[in-house]
Amino acid sequence: MTALSSTIRKITESTPAHRDRAVDGLRALALLSVPTGHWLLGGFTLGSDGGLRNASPLSAFGGLAPLSWVLQMLGVFFLVGGYASALSYRRHRGRPGEWIKGRLERLGRPVLGVAAVWAPLLLLLHHGFGVPVATLHTASTLVVQPLWFVGVYAVITALTPYCLAATRRLGAWAAAPLLGSVAVVDLLRYGPYSDAMPSWLSVLNLLPGWMFAYQLGTGWAERRIGRREGLVLLIGGAALFAALVFVFAYPASMVGVPGEARTNSHPPSLLVLALAAAQSGAAILLRDRLARVLDRPALWALVVVVNLSAMTILCWHQTAMLAAAIPASFAGPVAGLTTAPVTAGWIAARLAWLPLFALLLIGIARFARRLETPWTGTGTARRVMAVLLASGFAVFALA
């Protein structure tokens, strides 16, 4: 307890007075929602070959869909990302290329690291421990699942100068064309002429769909979006969300459900933007209150630790769950872990497993955090090997 108190005190004392604690708190909250959502809404079934396959409790419990509205906080993550990037870019004005390069390296190192580690791990699990190929494919899918988000975030980050230019020209309305673009694509793919539309049409929503909240974040940082606009976003987003679900029959779940023909998040539908607008509005309105809450040293220290481990949490939280599920698959059906998520008992058992997943992630983070730091001491041969291993894993995962 003495060591913990000392650490909390050091973190508090080293925090600059100008640090925006509310924004950091929102980022930490959005970060923690990612593993929580995947751990709660992602399950497995155990095949006759002993292999694990993905399943979801949402298939059996459609009433849990509102839980995904709370746990799907990517809108807040992109909002805060746009806010922080705008401030950081302003400090590097005159050196845009250097700023973008630094940001992309920070995002790319952990992704390359987790993929490079999993490549030999797949071979070890299969040939050393006899893990079925079905389990390896399931594991690869889960590991890759959050990495697409990092790729999209990297592209949007590189577009920060254009987002700022749009904000300075259009103010709070800079995000409106992105909303309109997604609405048009949704009308084409879900409207009366949807049968005549090409299957790739939905991909057009990928960039504007996730860029929407990021653009709002740059407007927030440039003080073109304040409490009044936040209230409009909250009310308007909530109203649009309700209309899309109850009038236009959009799927209620914010995450994909096995067996469902439509999904809201891959790529994002208009419902994702409606939720992002409502969440962004709430975040802007609650900013001052959250800042006061985070004046408490213990809470602030937790926020700092989470933010310092952001990429580790995103890249490795699925590995933590697999570290429990793969060994359990050899023991047969284990409630809440390798049994089908079709009963209320599964939900209770999965909740009991969450602390173990968290502890495993903390243990993995002690190793994985090194992959986030600059690879200054890594030779060319090792870097090439890491790229080759990561490429091999990507081929296997996406096959």
Tens digits of residue pLDDT in 9-68: 888 777 877 788 999 999 999 999 999 999 998 899 999 889 999 998 988 888 888 888
Question: CA 15, CA 32: separation in Å to the nearest integer?
Answer: 22
pTM of the model: 0.92
The DSSP result for 103-165, as a single string, is: HHHHHHHHHHHHHHHHHHHHHIIIIIH---HHHHHHHHHHHHTTHHHHHHHHHHHHTHHHHHH
Which of 153-167, 200-214, 243-257, 364-378 is the least confident region?
364-378
C-alpha to C-alpha distances, 355 to 91, 326, 333, nearest whole angstrom: 40, 17, 20
| For the chain, domain boundaries | 20-398
Residue range 212-270, pLDDT digits in tens: 999 999 999 999 999 999 999 999 999 999 999 999 999 988 887 776 778 888 889 99
pLDDT of 193: 83
pLDDT of 95: 81
Sign of CA dihedral 354, 356, 362, 364: negative
pLDDT of 205: 94
Question: CA 274, CA 147: separation in Å to the nearest integer?
Answer: 24
pLDDT of 377: 67
**Type of residue numbered 4:** L
Residue range 274-294, pLDDT digits in tens: 999 999 999 999 999 999 999
Q: What is the mean pLDDT of residues 126-150?
A: 92
Sign of CA dihedral 114, 117, 122, 125: negative
**Mean pLDDT across the chain:** 91
Going by C-alpha positions, the residue among 268, 249, 279 that lies closest to residue 79 is 279
pLDDT of 147: 85
The DSSP result for 165-206, as a single string, is: HHHHHHGGGGGHHHHHHHHHHHHHHHSTTGGGS-GGGGGGGH
Question: CA 368, CA 370: separation in Å to the nearest integer?
Answer: 5
Dihedral through CA 205, CA 209, CA 212, CA 213, nearest 10? -170
Residue range 84-118, pLDDT digits in tens: 999 999 888 768 888 999 899 889 889 999 999 99
Per-residue confidence at 81, pLDDT binned at 50, 70, 90?
very high
Tell me the angle at which helices 344-368 and 96-123 cross, rounded to the nearest 10 degrees: 110
Q: For residue 19, what are its two tokens?
A: 């640090």
The vertex-98 CA angle with 103 and 11, nearest 5°, equals 50
